[in-house]
Structure 1
Amino acid sequence: MQAWRVHRNGEPREVMRLDEVEPPVPGEGQVLLRVLAANVNFPDALLCRGHYQVRPPLPFTPGIEICGETPDGRRVIATLDPGASSGGFAEYAAVDAAGVLPAPGALDDAETAALHIGYQTGWFALHRRARLQPGETLLVHAAAGGVGSAAVQLGKAAGATVIGVVGGPDKARVARELGCDTVVDRRTEDIAAAVKEATGGRGADVVFDPVGGDAYTASARCVAFEGRIVVVGFAGGEVPAPALNHALVKNYAILGLHWGLYNTKDPAAVLRCHDELTALAARGAIKPLISERVPMKAAADAVQRVADGVTTGRIVVVPGTAQDTAPDAVPEGSTTR
């Protein structure tokens, strides 16, 4: 089978190589899935760079989120262990059977591949951690990105007024199409001032922050009385150092979310969330924003562009497309430049 493998750490476009390898052999408690679609996540880039929390042994196949087909023909969602050598950017993947979930019938393969991590993260951040209420104002940073777009849709589904922060006019257009009530372009506007203006001076009740750095600083300036800032990640590359005296005098909460912990600490909550997301998808309240569906040969370039922050929504790798079998398909052992 074909599989992208990382033989040394570095930038995804330089270190990912399309190889011909044997399909993985499922271990105890695992099942072999045919990969129907593999979502590209920012952690895939971190794995390539060797900057993720875990470092799988070289060579390894990145790709931590897939829609797959079981041996008996069922369409399912699966997430893969980022510390393992077998990942989702391949034609087949071995996954833990206990973590396999049914694919929502309302979503196609690419949308299904992009559902689990992003929307579970958004749901737990907004509902489990921040306790978002109908009528509250939600501020979402990177609102046109993969995780941010999920938070926008979930916020609207919960009855919140949503303010989306983006970088540039193209991403602003996407945020408006997603349903943001107000869109702030961080490149040309002062985020805190724009949020205060949009809320009549009150500020945002809940802040969803997967960016960190300057985004967090702006959030602290415009969070409402008894507001909640949920720290989801640091895609901007800078981990902020919050001024706790500021949180004290303004009466707001700083909440952390490491969604992956729920898989071990409270797996039943993950299953309940999946049921809720499936119901929301069935009624059309959520639908992953797929900006591109690319063939297998384009996976390295897709991971690089996600790493560079130049994409909107989700890029999904779809193995077995016509482009993969075209004469210009990447030969074994070569790299996509």
Structure 2
Amino acid sequence: MASMRAIRIQGFGGPEVLKVSSVERPTPKPGQVLVQIKSAGVNPVDTYIRAGTFGPRPFPLGLGGDAAGIVAAVADGEKNIKVGDRVFTCEGPGPLTGTYAEYALVPTRAVFPLPDSLTFSQGAALGIPYLTALRSLIIKAKSKPHETLLVHGASGAVGLAACQVASSWGMKVFGTAGTDDGLQLIKANGAGAVFNHRDKNYVQKLREAVGEHGFDVILEMVANHNLGVDVELAAVDGRIVVIGSHGEAKFEPFHMMGKEVTVAGVMLPHSTDEEWRIIGAELVKGINSGHVRPVIDQEFPLEKAPEAHEAVIQHTGGSKGKIVLTL
């Protein structure tokens, strides 16, 4: 049997458990596609799985749910995908084999065409970030074009995706970042007003900028630090969607009651087939229109996966787009 290089962790732990080994190349079954991976996306959820945050998993365990590459094999009877196609994939946490590898099995429903206008690294930055942003905005927040949006921590991959798509819909987008480079980046990607969340007065500045109405929708990347602020800044009937958190959050529930604010979490794998169809179609629409423009922060070779995980963990203060592995 043919072999391939892949990362398979033997137990939970820190980034040091990410080791490249030689494993058997998988063969697609009906409903599956084998993709030769050219670039794999590294997402915060990968670090949670690696550390055991999401509970028991079978070992050895492959990581990675985002990737882009070339179709290497399809199961008999598959007519819509052919060998040689440029594609990107998105499985979310819980992939069939993991995309931190030279080849990966992915379900047919999770394979999308990658246009020549995007690089493989950009393709690896599409799935989880953009579909999470779209599920947050469309399914969870039920956003409308005229509404105000605060992306709290906007310079990471999901935040930039949200800025791009929301601004293309006509939403009034406000974004925060922790560095001057990050502020310039989110402004260039659709945020009409930007604020440095390391400025001790940034909350007051946000309040003055949005006015008495408050924010109709808030996407929150670090809820343990910011949820209390979000509840205060939200409009009446405001919707806060929690996309990321690194610990316990403290906030005053009275502000939720007084303004009837809704706080919802989002986790892409919980999407129904219909939701998957809706957000997938919107993503393809954005790619074709040019509104979707993935931003790559850093690229690491497969052997440097531990460093890539460290970079993702450190991203909370100064994100500048997506981190990917190249093969």
Is the deviation greater in 268-277 or in 121-130? Answer: 268-277
Unaligned runs of 5+ in 1: 320-337
Structure that is richer in strand per residue: 2
TM-score by length of 1: 0.85
TM-score by length of 2: 0.87
Q: Distance in 1 between matches of 2:56 and 2:205?
A: 41
Is the deviation greater in 154-163 or in 100-109? Answer: 100-109
Is 1:23 aligned to residue 25 of structure 2?
Answer: yes
Q: Distance in 2 between matches of 1:82 and 1:141?
A: 23
**SS of equivalent residue, structure 2 residue 62:** coil
Is 1:154 aligned to residue 157 of structure 2?
Answer: no
Contact 1:105–1:282, Cα closer than 8 Å, also in 2: no
Aligned length, in residue pairs: 312
Is the deviation greater in 134-143 or in 78-87? Answer: 78-87
Query: Cα distance 1:221–1:68, how it changes in 2: closer, same or farther (>3 A)?
Result: same
Q: Which amino acid aligns with 1:69?
A: I
Q: Distance in 1 between matches of 2:191 and 2:44?
A: 23
Q: 2:69 is matched with which residue?
A: 68
Q: Distance in 2 between matches of 1:155 and 1:189?
A: 27
Is 1:246 aligned to residue 255 of structure 2?
Answer: yes
Percent identity between matched residues is: 31
Q: Which amino acid aligns with 2:257?
A: L
Q: Distance in 1 between matches of 2:93 and 2:282?
A: 26
Q: 2:9 is matched with which residue?
A: 6
Query: Cα distance 1:149–1:117, how it changes in 2: closer, same or farther (>3 A)?
Result: same
Q: Distance in 2 between matches of 1:206 and 1:173?
A: 22
Q: Distance in 1 between matches of 2:144 and 2:103?
A: 42
Q: 1:138 is matched with which residue?
A: 149
Shift of 1:169: 2.4
Contact 1:54–1:83, Cα closer than 8 Å, also in 2: no
**SS of equivalent residue, structure 2 residue 24:** coil
Contact 1:4–1:19, Cα closer than 8 Å, also in 2: yes
Unaligned runs of 5+ in 2: 74-82
Q: 2:47 is matched with which residue?
A: 45
Q: Distance in 2 between matches of 1:164 and 1:82?
A: 27
Is the deviation greater in 270-279 or in 24-33? Answer: 24-33
Alignment deviations for residues 52-101 of structure 1 (CA, whole Å, 9 cap, x no partner): x2543233221111113222111222234744672111101122234323
Q: 1:166 is matched with which residue?
A: 177
Shift of 1:172: 2.0
RMSD: 2.1
Q: Which amino acid aligns with 2:98?
A: G
Q: 2:76 is matched with which residue?
A: none
Shift of 1:111: 1.4
Q: 1:59 is matched with which residue?
A: 60
Is the deviation greater in 160-169 or in 18-27? Answer: 18-27
Query: Cα distance 1:55–1:312, how it changes in 2: closer, same or farther (>3 A)?
Result: farther
